[in-house]
Amino acid sequence: MARIEKLWNAPFKQPNGLAASAEGLWIVEQWAWGEHPEHVALVDWATGKELHRVRTESVNSSGLAYDGTHLWVARNAREKPATILKVDKNTGATLAAFPVPKAPDSGVHGLEWVDGTVWVTSLKIRQIVQVRDDDWSVVHAIPFNHSRAHGLAWDNGYLWCVDTNDRAIYKLDPADGREVETIPVPEPHPEPHGLTIKDGVLYYCDATSGAVCRVTR
């Protein structure tokens, strides 16, 4: 049985995506159909202390990835189709914007950057789609047969995906989507939304309570 422990609260009321880095943990905020652009903050792993913050052009953010140079933010704005923004980590400026792959009218709740590609949860078609980060061409796609795919994390050749409605984190074979492990997140633990991994340890955030949690297996 995995051990789940709350570490601290995010600097935002509604953290909805995480991305690991050596310099700290990146967290994106969500304001549920709010009208103002949302922020991404870099916080200290041990204390949650905010180290850096940028204001992005994203609204209703739900998903975050980091490629070592740029942030990738899932924008689910109500007035237009969802897009994935490539963002300058120092200024928050949008450098490029891409549609949800294979289903441009779909929402998106999870992103993960891996070796020049981005994995994207394409909610409408219940797939996780891998695209190249330069021309956004589709490389591969796997099924995810659950109702609310959320955060993603790459783990030595496997892909973890949260399903928030299930309160579970699934370890998937990226070749075919086969589930090889399941970590339940039962109440009263905070609900899983965003996900990332560092040194083999999973971390998730809860957009309802604001908590950031560590999952030790």
Residue 33 pLDDT greater than 90, yes or no: no
Residue 78 pLDDT greater than 80, yes or no: no
**Cα Rg, the chain, nearest whole Å:** 15
Confidence category of residue 44, pLDDT binned at 50, 70, 90: very high
Confidence category of residue 36, pLDDT binned at 50, 70, 90: confident
Confidence category of residue 79, pLDDT binned at 50, 70, 90: confident
Q: How many CA atoms lie within 13 A of 196 on its CB side?
A: 26
Of 136, 139, 123, 27, the residue nearest 82 (C-alpha): 123
pLDDT digits (tens, 9 = 90+) for 47-75: 999 999 999 999 999 999 999 999 999 99
Domain spans of the chain, in order of start: 3-216
Residue 100 pLDDT greater than 90, yes or no: yes
CATH of domain 3-216: 2.120.10.30
Across the range 4-31, mean pLDDT stands at 96
pLDDT of residue 82: 95
Residue 32 pLDDT greater than 80, yes or no: no
Residue 130 pLDDT greater than 80, yes or no: yes
Residue 128 pLDDT greater than 70, yes or no: yes
Across the range 137-159, mean pLDDT stands at 97
Phi, psi of 187 (to 5 degrees): -65, 150
Q: How many CA atoms lie within 13 A of 124 on its CB side?
A: 10
Across the range 6-21, mean pLDDT stands at 97
How far is residue 162's CA from residue 59's CA, in Å, rounded to a whole number?
21
Structure tokens at 166: 């299930």
Across the range 107-112, mean pLDDT stands at 96
- Residue 28 one-letter amino acid: V
pLDDT of residue 77: 82
Q: 104: cis peptide before it, omega within 30°?
A: no
pLDDT of residue 57: 94
pLDDT of residue 31: 80
Residue 35 pLDDT greater than 70, yes or no: no
How far is residue 196's CA from residue 190's CA, in Å, rounded to a whole number?
16
